[in-house]
Chain A
Amino acid sequence: MGMDIGKFLKSPEYDIMITTYRDIFQVEALERDRFGEEYKKLSAVISISKVDLQKMGLKSGDRVKISNNNGSIVVEAKESKRDEPGGLAFMVNSPWSNSLVSGDTRGKGIPEFKNINAKISFSKEEITTTDNLIGTIFKKSGSI
């Protein structure tokens, strides 16, 4: 029986620059039920230009792990519907994108919500849930 060597290989990591935006459908879902599937589906997504997806060997619908010093999430990669020049990926503002934002504001009180640098790689892990996000917080605060 052949061995699936692929599962032992680490997927290649790429640098990615992310900015955040608002989406009316996601905001609507937030107003209805911020714990619901719809809100998760519309939030745990990264929109990447066709050219960047190709460069990274990813395709629309793949799950990707996005990590930096602030946190790590697994979301769905989607090809941008817009004609993007590449070099910048987009996430709707949500607890998922906020997992990657530093708390350090250089004393000014405004974090870099729209200027996120991270590493991205193909992932087979499940999409991060709000329970995962809250769980991480509790672990760090020592509450459990």
Chain B
Amino acid sequence: MVTCTGCALLCDDIEVIVENNRIKETKNTCRRGAARMKGCTNRLVPSIAQKPTDIESSIRKAARIIKDARTPMLFGWDNSTCEAQIKGIRLAEKINAVMDDTSSFCQGLLIERILHKKFRTCSLEDIRNKADVLIYWGSDAQDSQPRHLSRFSYFPRGESRQRGYEEDRMAIAIDVRESNTAKICKGHFYRIPLRGDREFILALIEALSGKVPAYDTKKMLELAGILKKAEFGAIFVGIGLTYSIKDDFDILTALADKLPNFNIMPMVGHYNMRGFNETLFKETGFVNKVKFDGKAIHDNRYAIMESLNNKTIDAIVVMGSDPLSSLPIPLIPYLASIPVICIDPCATLTSKIAAVTIPSAVSGVESGGTAVRMDGKGIGLSTIIKSDHMTDEEITVRLMEAV
């Protein structure tokens, strides 16, 4: 059995058939996991100024760039092991870098509050064994973490839930769109308008407080009734909810306070985003958006978005991420105007504009280590096939030695 790094569920019940040092077949994976484990068609090659070179030269050039930069940024890290992440923090300390990951524009707001214990939370095993009411809110797990419902939440048998979805569990979807997850929650899909989550939460709080909510009164009272009866509930917070209430996140805490039998669970995409948040939190007390300058300083201006908007960084190491694909395109011209060092197993849009590219091993396939599942549990990753590529950790150490 090996672990899949397709998403932050880190499914550790995967079987693989290896032939000629390639993964030929996977068993138990979802489509995403299978595709990641089998590998991309375009492996990255070392280059400087878009011209192929050897790996040693590319590392030397990358080190020179970040050493010479006034304010370098180390960005990415959510597709790297915890071991690489900690080395990344050491490198950031050594060169006084800004450090951020994709959580600053993803689930960072939520994970930060979970690590500060602002919410009750639990493990995915607790969900499997005990949960009876499951709310997918702004989360289409069927497409983003496809085995969430089958391994942990709705379909499995559990210690206190012998009959699973047929009798013992109810799944509810609250979303702007009838997602594939919402389709499974038959009869319990609450469609809300775009950015309507806040109003929905406030009405639900009213209904839970014994008041008559003005908003969709009948459905809201019905939902409040279901939630009050729950023995062990979970709200799976998707990025849809996080984005919608980002300016007033405390209303989710207010809702959680009204639901003493419920746990708040983050739905995380990148396999080790939570790992980065936890690793940085342990080291600095912050989950993302920091600048090292003798100590770690935390501020929104150290978010990747703001660093590009305000043009405050003058070189960037992109580790296992593709900001050209994932950031708003209006921010990219500045990114393309500074030296980009792209470290990745595969060619990406970002590698196409990089001053230096450094190919790495695929973590969880060509190199092992540890990662943190979306619920905070540490999971081991195995080396499945041999590779000549350096790991993210080794590359980071080499950069540290060279600066």
Contact = CB atoms under 8 A, between A and B. Distances in A.
B40 interface: yes
27 contacts: A17-B194, A19-B177, A22-B143, A24-B31, A24-B32, A31-B35, A32-B38, A33-B40, A34-B322, A34-B349, A70-B328, A70-B329, A82-B177, A84-B178, A88-B177, A101-B329, A102-B330, A103-B327, A103-B330, A107-B300, A109-B105, A109-B289, A110-B104, A112-B243, A113-B328, A137-B324, A140-B333
Interface of B: 6, 30-32, 34-36, 38, 40-42, 104-105, 109, 140, 142-144, 146, 176-179, 191, 193-195, 239-240, 243-244, 246-247, 269, 289, 300-301, 303-306, 308-309, 322, 324-337, 346-349, 352-353
B325 A94 contact: yes
A24 B143 contact: yes
Contacts of B191: 85
Interface string A21-35: 111110111111111
Nearest to A23: B143
A142 B42 CA distance: 27
A4 interface: no
A113 B104 CA distance: 13
Interface residues of A, number: 53
A31 to B, nearest CB: 4
Contact of B246 (A27, A104, A110): A110
Which of A34, A90, A101 has most chain B Cβ within 10 Å?
A34
B337 A103 contact: no
Secondary structure at the B interface, as helix, strand, loop or mixed, is: helix
Contact of A137 (B30, B142, B333): B333
Contacts of B178: 82-84
Contacts of A102: 328, 330
A61 interface: no
B304 A109 contact: yes
Nearest to B338: A141
Lowest 6 A-B CB distances belong to which pairs? A109-B303, A31-B35, A140-B333, A101-B328, A141-B333, A103-B331
Given A27-B32, A101-B328, A32 B333 contact: no
A36 B349 CA distance: 12
A108 to B, nearest CB: 6
A116 B39 CA distance: 33
